[in-house]
A and B are shown apart, each in its own frame.
Chain A
Amino acid sequence: MSATAEARVNGAELIEEVLKAYPEKSAKRRAKHLGVHEEGKSDCDVKSNIKSLPGVMTIRGCAYAGSKGVVWGPIKDMIHISHGPVGCGQYSWASRRNYYIGTTGIDTFGTMQFTSDFQEKDIVFGGDKKLEKIIDEIQDLFPLNKGISIQSECPIGLIGDDIEAVAKKKSKEFEGKTIVPVRCEGFRGVSQSLGHHIANDAIRDFVFDKTDPEKNAFTATPYDVAIIGDYNIGGDAWSSRILLEEMGLRVIAQWSGDGSIAELENTPKAKLNILHCYRSMNYISRHMEEKYGIPWVEYNFFGPSKIEESLRKIASFFDDSIKEKTEAVIAKYKKLTDDVIAKYKPRLQGKKVMLFVGGLRPRHVIGAYEDLGMEVVGTGYEFGHNDDYQRTTHYVKDGTLIYDDVTGYEFEKFVEAVQPDLVGSGIKEKYVFQKMGVPFRQMHSWDYSGPYHGYDGFAIFARDMDMAINSPVWKLTKAPWAK
């Protein structure tokens, strides 16, 4: 039996073993989400985007997290109201590291927590009047804001508030101000994912459709592109933008890391939308394609192999001048990536990695690990859909363990059995695996490091993975006298 065939058998046995801990009904349902990738299959043979089982410790979040936390929150010159009780806004306050430049509290508001702090009376009598007053107070105290979004928390949809009417009324009152009602109540859908979709639709309906195309004086060029689906975590969009500019393109908008409302408004004037996080922003990209005829292309800026491939793919939409400059960019960074690989590959060669992240990362980062000689032996999505798992087949090797919406129990058992050299997942998982003596990196927040995108980011990525795996602390976990 070949090594990968053996991995497949082992993986299947492991899954069977882990499922034994569930009640029968739940085991049957979870079985559909767990699998071992078989070369040549069109998807990873797992079900996805289905309700999480109650009581199993899913890692997933909610629609509000997908809208406020991911899509809208980073738009820096708008004020995003967490509409409902205080908690949602509090727990998501500035924790996602969407870097931006601006004077916070004056012309930008990214690391602030605006909330309607619902009280019992707001639940009983409705919160629309309060919301109106909140908008007035925002206008009074933060007059330089360029727009307001209303991010619905669970109660809003349950008590029948009409935030759309409030938004419409107030927008009119403030001379057509952009005020966006977003129906991203946390109980909608099965994960963050529906929140992304709802947020995308709200941009379509309340930014694109309500903005006069002449609002911002804008002279288009043939090289205008928009970065879509990069949240500038630790500066990711910046270390991406710099490469696009070097290849001769003009980045007219960043969606939505370090983004401004004007950038969103101008995006329909782009020649090409380049899409990093497919999961969270494919909707608006498809819309712009249909309505404005803007093509879109997916790219991957993790690790030199994928960056090089992506730069050429993006360049293929443009003329030879761009293509030539692109080759020059690739050549320019060759020495850096060669040096990084020469330094870190010997320290990381053959190390096994297990991932569990959201969005694009369960597949997108695999190439970067492989550039360093590492091997991803297990991966899964918090809130992926079937089209994500289809795309994943191009990245993963035969025999890779696949786990959709993994539960705390499963993840612990999988790591215990597979014994990877590194786990990449989130803050809730980090300390579980470190206690087990397994090196870990947070792959949502870059563990407070970054950027990881682009060539500059790859050097940081390599350094950080080395730092995690080769930390001397892992040699100290057993007391010398322990048997």
Chain B
Amino acid sequence: MSQSAEKVLDHFELFREPEYKEMFANKKENFEYAVPLEEMKSQVEYAKTWEYREKNFNREALTVNPAKACQPLGAVFAAVGFESTLPFVHGSQGCVAYYRSHFSRHFKEPTSCVSSSMTEDAAVFGGLNNMVDGLANSYSLYKPKMIAVSTTCMAEVIGDDLNAFIKTSKEKGSIPAEYDVPFAHTPAFVGSHITGYDNALRGVLTHFWDGKAGTTEPMVRKPNDSINFIGGFDGYVVGNNREVKRILNEFGVDYTMLCDPSDVWDTPTDGEFRMYDGGTTLEDAANALHAKGTIVMQSICAEKTAAFIEEHGQEVARLHHPVGVAGTDEFLMAVSKLTGKPIPESLTKERGRLVDAIADSSAHIHGKKFALYGDPDLMLGLTAFLLELGAEPVHVLSTNGDADWAAKVQALFDASPFGKNCHVYAKKDLWHMRSLLFTEPVDFLIGNTYGKYLDRDTGTPLIRIGFPIFDRHHKHRYPVWGYQGAMNVLVTILDKIFDVMDADTNGIATTDYSFDIIR
């Protein structure tokens, strides 16, 4: 027995003790009828080959370890970004349990969201009663200022009509007639979480701007000097939105952040649970119509929303998750162009500091090979930054990026000497990435938490940038946008490079001549 009260061993150490190791061996030997060791080892090796890679890339139907989630997750993200808004997902209830857990594991914060809890009878008769009762319950219990409705695939397959259902609910007195209930159909079998964000955000704007589902006159745009900012589905939303606000305040522009969950996903521990905190006010969401223009920070993620805003007469600046010097330059110039305000000296100075930092560290990144995966906009931003650092983004992969996205990544490769041997992979998953890392190894991998399995299997050190990050804490509090954000990304990459360098040179009397004290 190894356990003691004095030094409590948990799963990290307990199962390495001899009595457990022996138990595992016996279990395997006598009861698991496991694959013979040699056969297992030979498959391990085979899975590293080009031949396996070809088979793997010939897959047409099976998806293994994808880097995307489904639409309603994005719809919930969009909804919680509005003042005192309760996301209401019409369909099966298990989905909502999943979205809430998923966000809480990433942000380490509560995520309030309700379901209409449809079951078999609703599958047969439709979910109208669930909507009618559900809205009444949510309204009474949680007193939201707005309820934003989206759908699970169940409600989509049976064809429930949100507009009609919400109308009927109002007629039946579940909620007041004038109460704001924007909605969006968000089928899980179309697109991904970024599509759901787009649909839900457009749903909110449509509600306020286009006459609240036919219950009021559509608003008439009276252009003013303000701008709107749309961040998109962003795992760094807490840090990023605050940084963007700081930047826009430096400019001295009037702005509306459309969808801002940076407060509700960062509430204090002070004895009070705030179910709602901050967010875009409903008034601001409506008045955002009058803005001069809108900055869309992730335009693949907010494609339809951007088009919708343009149709309403605004100029739209479409960016792709800008990270780095040129990326941030583009963002600031877009703000300047839209508002007519010069880029403030303070930000120019920040730019210089970022360039200074890159110059200081460039020798350690230059020529290093990277593989990266994630949402399409993020991949565009990171690819551009890596090229800017003189690194080679050898494999750039996205499960929810399509051919248009791939062409954009290719254009980045083509514009840089460092992009010469780089390839882009659209609609591929992390099992594809595994083959890429075995057949064409790189120095570092950039991705979300699930990349740790690739790190383990292929020995490619993982730099965690993306969503979700479950196994490191508080990363979402640090921006990746703006010059300061780029600095954070730079340091994140450098820290891993130096850690790997130290681990690789600490062999006593073998390699530790390079175990330098100054790097």
**A residues with CB within 8 A of B:** 21-23, 25-26, 51-65, 77, 84-88, 90-93, 95, 99, 101-107, 111-120, 122-123, 130-131, 133-134, 137-138, 140-141, 143-144, 153-155, 157-159, 186-190, 192, 216, 234-235, 238-239, 241-242, 245, 251-254, 258, 260, 262-263, 266, 332-333, 336, 339-340, 342-344, 407-409, 412, 426-437, 449-451, 455-456, 459-460, 462-463, 473, 477-479
Contacts and interface: CB of A to CB of B under 8 A. Distances in A.
Interface centre among A120, A428, A431 (most CB of B within 10 A): A428
B453 A104 contact: yes
Contacts of A479: 270
B28 to A, nearest CB: 7
B14 A427 contact: no
A4 B76 CA distance: 43
A54 B20 CA distance: 47
A23 B407 CA distance: 54
A145 B271 CA distance: 50
Nearest to B24: A101
Contacts of A85: 70, 153, 188-189
A59 B104 CA distance: 14
Contacts of B100: 428
Contacts of B157: 123, 154-155, 158-159
Q: How large is the interface on B (under 10, 10 to 19, 20 to 34, 35 or more residues)?
A: 35 or more
B44 A106 contact: yes
Contacts of B142: 57, 408-409
Interface centre among A54, A192, A426 (most CB of B within 10 A): A54
A478 B66 contact: no
Contacts of B152: 154
Contacts of A234: 10-11
Nearest to A252: B31
A456 B122 CA distance: 47
B158 interface: yes
Contact of A106 (B9, B47, B110): B47
A62 B5 CA distance: 39
A92 B94 CA distance: 11
Interface in B33-68: 33-35, 39-40, 43-44, 47, 52, 55-56, 59-66, 68
Contact of A339 (B6, B73, B122, B154): B6
B59 A137 contact: yes
A185 to B, nearest CB: 8
Interface centre among A53, A65, A266 (most CB of B within 10 A): A53
Contact of A216 (B15, B33, B73, B137): B33
Interface string B97-112: 1111110110011111
B40 A23 contact: no
Nearest to B116: A54
A56 B64 contact: no
A266 B32 CA distance: 10
Top 9 A-B pairs, shortest CB-CB distance: A62-B94, A87-B70, A54-B134, A55-B134, A91-B98, A339-B5, A85-B188, A55-B137, A262-B33
Nearest to A250: B30
B14 A60 contact: no
B457 interface: yes
Contact of A188 (B5, B98, B120, B453): B120
Nearest to B23: A242
Interface centre among B5, B55, B120 (most CB of A within 10 A): B5
Given A187-B92, A435-B274, A86 B70 contact: yes
Contact of A260 (B32, B55, B59, B140): B32
B133 interface: yes
Contact of B154 (A106, A138, A187): A187
B105 to A, nearest CB: 6
Nearest to A253: B31
B20 to A, nearest CB: 6
Given A107-B40, A123-B189, A242-B23, A450 B10 contact: yes
Nearest to B92: A186
B67 to A, nearest CB: 9
Interface centre among B5, B93, B94, B111 (most CB of A within 10 A): B94
B239 interface: no
Given A95-B101, A154-B153, A409-B142, A57 B189 contact: no
